[in-house]
């Protein structure tokens, strides 16, 4: 009897030891899950915002490289920025294709990706072969260009434009509503200017949905 009682006592102690590491109750599990969900709801927007700030910085770097290429183009083209429109024509599909492809090939080499904003969901171009907004491998996959909208007789000419004149920018960065071509949503877009500097411009400061400030001040048909 003593031996049987001793074995039972040992078994009870073993069960007690195991029972000391009790499982979570359903209420405790729900509390832990709620805390995790709360932390994620706080952290994920912050992580997403940080990633977007990083993409904006990379986007602005792209535009500065494009702006530098446009300045080099003007220096070797008697002061004229990229524009090959026919006489008295403010824009030409075929000539915009031609001049922006030339700009990309000659002044930016094999850096086709520089024409793609990291926040743009469109595919990164492998090469630049068009300026069509809707075709792949386009110079205007993410950005637009001030100089292709002028009549050639009136410029734009390097010496006539001040440093604040915009040269290239995020497509539809000034739109107050969501557009399929926007890179950064409705908050605004990056712009590079004639003196080579670039900056973020909030949408309410733009002259139009796809026309940064102060483009209208210098644009002369």
Does residue 95 lie within any of the structural domains? yes
**Count: domains in the chain:** 1
Does residue 195 lie within any of the structural domains? yes
Does residue 89 lie within any of the structural domains? yes
Does residue 14 lie within any of the structural domains? no
Give this prediction's pTM.
0.79
CA 168: distance to chain centroid? 13
Does residue 171 lie within any of the structural domains? yes
- Distance in angstroms (rounded) separating the CA atoms of residues 157 and 170: 22
Does residue 127 lie within any of the structural domains? yes
SS3 per-residue string spanning the chain = CHHHHHHHHHHHHHHHHHHCCCCCCHHHHHHHHHHHHHHHHHHHHHHHHHHHHHHHHHHHHHHHHHHHHHHHHHHCCCCECCCCCCCCCCCCHHHHHHHHHHHHHHHCCCCHHHHCCCCCCCCCCCCCCECCCCCCCECCCCEEEHHHHCCHHHCCEHHHCCCCCEEEEECCCCCCCCCCCCCCHHHEEEEEECCCCEEEEEHHHCCECCECCCHHHHCCC
pLDDT in tens, the chain (221 residues): 444 444 455 555 544 444 555 666 877 788 778 888 877 777 677 667 788 899 999 999 999 999 999 999 999 999 999 999 999 999 999 999 999 999 999 999 878 999 999 999 999 999 999 999 999 999 999 999 999 999 998 878 887 888 899 999 999 999 999 999 999 999 999 999 999 999 999 999 999 999 999 999 988 75
Domain residues for 148?
Answer: 54-218
Does residue 184 lie within any of the structural domains? yes
Does residue 6 lie within any of the structural domains? no
């Amino acid at each position: 009897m003593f031996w049987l009682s001793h074995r039972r006592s040992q078994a009870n102690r073993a069960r007690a030891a195991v029972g000391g590491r009790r499982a979570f109750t359903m209420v405790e599990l729900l509390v832990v899950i709620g805390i995790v969900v709360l932390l994620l709801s706080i952290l994920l927007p912050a992580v997403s915002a940080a990633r977007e700030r990083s993409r904006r910085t990379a986007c602005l770097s792209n535009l500065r490289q494009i702006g530098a290429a446009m300045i080099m183009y003007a220096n070797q083209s008697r002061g004229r920025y990229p524009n090959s429109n026919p006489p008295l024509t403010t824009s030409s599909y075929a000539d915009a294709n031609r001049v922006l492809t030339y700009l990309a090939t000659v002044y930016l080499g094999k850096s086709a990706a520089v024409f793609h904003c990291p926040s743009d969901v469109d595919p990164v171009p492998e090469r630049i072969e068009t300026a069509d907004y809707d075709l792949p491998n386009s110079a205007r996959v993410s950005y637009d260009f001030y100089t292709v909208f002028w009549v050639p007789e009136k410029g734009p000419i390097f010496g006539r434009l001040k440093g604040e004149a915009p040269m290239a920018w995020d497509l539809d960065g000034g739109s107050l509503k969501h557009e399929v071509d926007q890179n950064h949503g409705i908050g605004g877009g990056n712009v590079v200017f004639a003196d080579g500097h670039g900056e973020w411009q909030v949408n309410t400061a733009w002259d139009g949905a796809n026309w940064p400030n102060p483009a209208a001040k210098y644009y002369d048909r």
